[in-house]
Structure 1
Amino acid sequence: MKSETSGKSHNLATTLAIAFVLISLATLIIAGGFLLFVLFNTQRDAVAGRQRIVALQAANAVDGFIQEKFNVMEAAMRLTRTTEDRKRAMQVLLGLQPAFRQLLLLDMQDKNLFRVTRLSRNESFRLDRQLERAPFPMVKEGKRHISLVYVDTISSEPLVIMAVPVRTVLGDALGALVAEVNLKFMWDLVDSLEVGETGYAYVVDRDGRLIAFGDTARVLKGERLDHLKPVIDFTKHDNHEGHAEVTTFTGITGKKVVGTHVPLGTPDWAVITELPLKVAYLPVVQSAGTSAVIIIAMAILAALAGTMVARRLAVPILNLADTATRIESGQIGLQASLEGPLEVIRLAGAFNNMTERLQVMLDTEEERSRKLEGEISQRIKMEGALRENEQLLTNILESMDEGVLVLNRDFEYQIFNRKLEEILTTSRDVALGRKPWDVFPAFRTKAYDEITEKVKIGELKGVSERQLPIPSGEDKWVSENFSPLKDAQDHDDFKQIKIIKEYDESIPLVLCDGSKVQQVFLNILKNGAEAMAENTGDERPPTFILRVQEDDPWVRVEIEDNGPGMDDKTRRSIFVPFFTTKPVGQGTGLGLSVSYFIITEDHGGELGAYAADSGGTLFVIRLPKAGKQNT
C-alpha cells in the first residue's frame, strides 16, 4: 500500500513535471516566435530606413552639385547692373568653377552678347549648335533650365546646358546666362558617396542612361540601365517627389542587392543606391540567430527546472499553470500567486515579471494611442478656431461703414466689402480677382495711366497707405491704412515723445511696397525712441521732427530725433548686418541693415544717417519719383 502510494505520488510528480515543461515550452515558443517576428520586421524596417537615408543623402549631394551651379550663376547676375559688370562676373565665374566649360550671355532674342570659354574657337561653337537643337523658352519666363545630357564627341564626356534668367533690379527680363557644364566633376562626388562598405550609388537620366558612377568607363560608353528594377520604376512613373520603396533586385554589378531610387525633379534624374543583400540583412540574421539561441537555452533551462522541482510543486504548480492558461487566454494583468516552496515563488515571480513587461508594452502602446488622439483633437480645435477667426474677420470687414479694398501683389482686388459695393455701385463678384482698370475703364485714360501701381506719399502717418483712384462723379480715394506712426505711438517708448510734422502739400507719386517701407519707418522710429529714452541727462523733451518734401528726382523723407546722437564710427557701421550698440540679448543688429536693403535694393532709393543740429540723429530716405526709377 505504501509502495502503491509512492508510485502514485511519483506519477503525479512526473505528470506535473511534463505539464510544467510543456507549458514553459509553449510560452517560450509563442513569446519567442512573436519576438523573432517583431525583431525581423524591426530589423527589416531598419535596413529599409538606412537605405532611404543613404539614398536621400546621395540625392541631396547630387542635387546640391546642380543647385550650387544654378545659385552661383544667379548670384553673379544679381550682383551686376551693367553689361560690362556681367562680362567681368562671367570671367570670374569661369575661373572659380572648373565644371563650367563655357558661359554665354544671351539677350531676349537669343543673340550672343558675350562668351567666355576654356575651349578652342571651333569647339566652343558646338554649344551654339546644341542650343539651336534644344531651345529653352522657359528661361524668358523667369525659370531655370537644364538640358538633357549629351556627350562630347571629342572627349566623350557627358555635358549639360544650364541656363538662368538675367533681370534688372526691378525684375525686367534682359536675357539669359547659359553655361555648358562638364558632369565629370560630379563623378568624383558620386564615387565618394558611402553606401555601407560595399554598396554603390549612381545617377541615371529619364531615358535610363548612366551619367554618373564610380566606373567611369561604363559612363563614357553611354550604358543604359533600363533593365534594372529601380530604373524601370523611375522611367515609367513621372514621380518628382519623395522616393520609391526599398526593394530587392539584381544590381548594377549583377548581384542581388537591396536598394531604392530618389528622383531629383530638376534635373530629371534619379539617384540609385544599392547594398548587397547579404551585407544589408547580415544584422537581421545575426539578431535572429542570437534570439533563437537564447529562446532554446531558456526552453532547456525551463525543462530542467521543471523536472527538478516537480515533486515539490503539486498544488502551487497547478495554480501557476492555471494562471498561465488564463494569461494566455487574454487576462494580461493577472499575477501568479507567490506561495509554496521558494523555487515556485521565484518561478511565479519571474512569470509575473514577464507579464508586467508585456503589460508595460501594452500600456506604452495605449499611451501612444491616447497621445495621438489628443493631438488629433487639438488639431481639430485649432482648425475650428482658425475658421472662427476667418469668419470674424469677414464679419468685421462687412460691418464697417467705410469702403475697404485690398489689392494683392498682382494688383488685383482681393477684398471688396459691402460698403464699397454701395459706394461704387459695383458688385464684388465682378471686381474680385480682377485688376482695377479691367473693372473701371476710366483707368485707361491719360489722367490715370501714371497712377497705376504707385503710392502717394502724404502725411507720414499714411506714408505706407496703398492708394488708388476710383473714377466716379468726383475723385474718391479708397485707402488701405497701415499707419506706422500710429502703431509707434501706441508703444510705451513713444507715449512721452513730442512729434513735429513738416510735410510738403504737393508730393508726387512713388512706386514702392507699402508694407516694406512701413517696416523701415518703424525700425528708425523705434531706435530713435530707445535712444532718447536712454538720454536721461538731457532736460529737453524727447522730440521727433518728421519731414516729407520733393527733392528732384526723389521724394525725400527725414526723421530727426534730439537724442544723444552717434559718433562717426558708429554711423558708418549701423547699416552693417549684426552691428548693434545694445547689450547682449537686447538687439539682433539686423533692423537697420534690413531697412537699408529694402530702400536701396528693393526700391532703388537711398538711406543715410547724419548728425542733426539738435545733437541727435537725422535719417534721410530718398525714394524715386514715379517714372524716375533706375533700370
Structure 2
Amino acid sequence: MKETKFHSLTVTLTIVFLVLSIMVLLTASSLQIYFNYKIQRDIIIKQQQLIAEKAVNTVKSFINEKSNILKTVASISNTATFSYKEQKLILEKLLGSEPVFRQLILLDSKKQEIVRKSRLSNLLSLQSTNEEIDKFSGINPRNLYISSVYIDEITSEPMIIIASPIIDVLENFKGTLLAEVNLKFMWDMIDSLKFGTNGQTYVIDKSGNLIAYGDISRVLKRENLIHLKNIAEFVNNSNSFEQNTNVSRGILNTYSVSCIMPLGFPEWAVVVELPVEEAYKPVIISLHLTGWTMLLSFVLALSTGIYLAHRITRPVKNLRNAANKIGKGSLDSKIEVESSDEIGQLAVSFNQMVEDLKKTTTSIDNLNREVMERKKAEEEMQRLNAELESSMAKLEEANQEMKNFVYIASHDLREPLRKITSFGSILEKSLKDKLSGEDTENLTFMIDGATRMNKMIEGLLVYARVSSKTQPPQMVDLNEIITQLQQLELSVVLQEKNAIIEIPKPLPTIEADSVQIRQLLQNLIANGIKYQPKDRIPKITITSKPDANGIVRVEITDNGIGIKAEYLSSIFVMFKRLHTRNEYEGTGIGLSVCKKIVERHGGKIGVESHPDVGSTFWFTVQIAEKQLANVVMEPSEICDGLD
C-alpha cells in the first residue's frame, strides 16, 4: 500500500482562517479609506469654493464701491461746466474722503484735462499714470472703464484707473472723471481671508500677474504666475473660464488643492490653495490607524485561527486515538463530549457504536439474565391481569348490588310507606272528631313523615337512575324541552305563582340524553320559582352563549332570595339544605341530581348569586354538530311569559 504524505489539519485550518480574515480586513479597510478620501475631498472642495466666493465678493465689493463713488460724483449736474474753483473743491473733498484714490482727474468731452488733484508732489513724475490715461483715449467714453493693473515706478504699488463718464440730463456726453486707485488697500482684505494652517489666498489679473497676496514683496516684484497650471488655464481662456478645483503645484511650489474663481469684471481671478498634507490630514491619519488596526487584526486573526484550529481538531484527534485503542481490542474506550455541534454528535455516535459493539459481545450469562428478567416481567404482567379481572368482577358485583338496592327501594320500601300514608289518611278522616288535639297532631306528624320519606326515596331513585338508566346521546332542542315543561310538569306552579319565563334568544340544539336534560332544566327552573320572597312575582330568564371547543353555556337566572357567598360551594352536596321545611319544602337532593347529570355529560355546573337580588345557575354541554358552523344564533323571542 502506497504511503500518503501527512498534512496537518490544524495548519490547514489556521491558514484558511488567516487568509479569509486578511481578505475581509483588506476589503473593509480599502472601502473605508476610499470613502474617507471621497468625503474629505468633497468637504475641501466645498470649503475652498466658499472661501474663494468670499474673496471674489470682497474684491468685487472693493471695486464696485469705488466705481459707485465715481458714478455718484460724476452724476452731479453740470460737473464739467462748473467753474475751475468749484471743480477743484469737489475733487479735493473726494480725495480727502477716500484714501484709496491717489489722484483724481476731470476731462472734458474732448478728453482734455480740466483739473487734476493728486496726493503726490507736483515735482514727482506721473509718467505711468499718464500712459494709462492715454490708453483710455481710445476707449468708448460713455462706458465705465477699469484699466489693467500697473506698478507705479515711484511707489512700486499696484494701481488701476477707473473712469466714469459725465452725462447730463439730455444724455449728452460732457466729460470724464478718472480716479487712480491704489490696490494696496485690497491686500489687507485678501490677507484676512485665512483658512487652515498653511492656506493661501491671492488675486491675479488676466495676464497672470500677482496683484494681491499676503507676501507683499512678491506683489511689488510684479511676479507672474502663468507657469502654474491653474493660472495658465485662466490666462489662456479668460473669457470662457469657469471656476476650477484640482491638485497641482501652488504659489509656494508645493502640491496643493487649488481652487481658482474668476471675478468676471474686471478680468481678475481669486485663487485659494491648501497644501495636500493639510487638506487630506484626516485621511492620512485614518490610513495610519487603518494600518495599525490591520496589523493588530492580523495578530488577533492568527491567534484566533490557531485557537479555533486546535479546538476543532482536538475532538478529531481524540476520535483517532480512541479508534486506534478499539482496534487493539480495548472496548472500554470512550470520547468525552465537549460540544453540541457536529463534532459532538460524531463523538456521541462513536460512543454509541462502541456501546453497541460491547453489547454484541455480551457473555452467555448476561443473555440468560436477560431471559430471566423477561420471564419475570411476563409473570408480573399475568399477575396484574388476574388482579384486574378480579377487580372488574367485584365492580360488576357492586353494580348488581346497586341495582338490587334500587329495586328494593322502588318496591319494598315505597310499598310500606304508601300503606302508612294511605291508612293514616283514612284514620285521619274517620277519627277526625273522636281524637284529642294532641292525638290529631301526632297522626298528622306520622303522615307528613311518611310523605317526606317517600319523597326522599324518590329523590334517591332519581339520583341512582342518572347512571343506571341512561339513553344514548341524541339531538335535543332546548326550546322544545322548555315549552313542554311549561305545558306539563311546571304548568301548575307557574299558574299558582304567576311566574314568568323569558328566553331573549332561541336556545341551541345540543347532543345529550333528552330525559336527563329535561330533569336538569325542570329542577333548576322549579328552584328559581320556589325560592322567592312572598310578595315577589318569580321571573326566570334562560340564555345561552358559545364556549370553546363546541361547548355551549346555558344560564338560568331568577329574581329570588339569592344565596350567601359562604354557601355557594356546598349547595350541590346531597341533603344540604339552607332553609327549614317551614320556610321552603324540599329534600336537598335536587341540585345533587343536577350536578350528576351535567358531569355525566362531560360538562360543568356552577352558580353566581347575590342575596335578595337573585341567582344564576349555569351548566355547559356539547352543542350539536349541525350548529358548530353557526354558533351565534339569530335573535327571536320564544316565550314572553306565562301567568
TM-score by length of 2: 0.42
TM-score by length of 1: 0.42
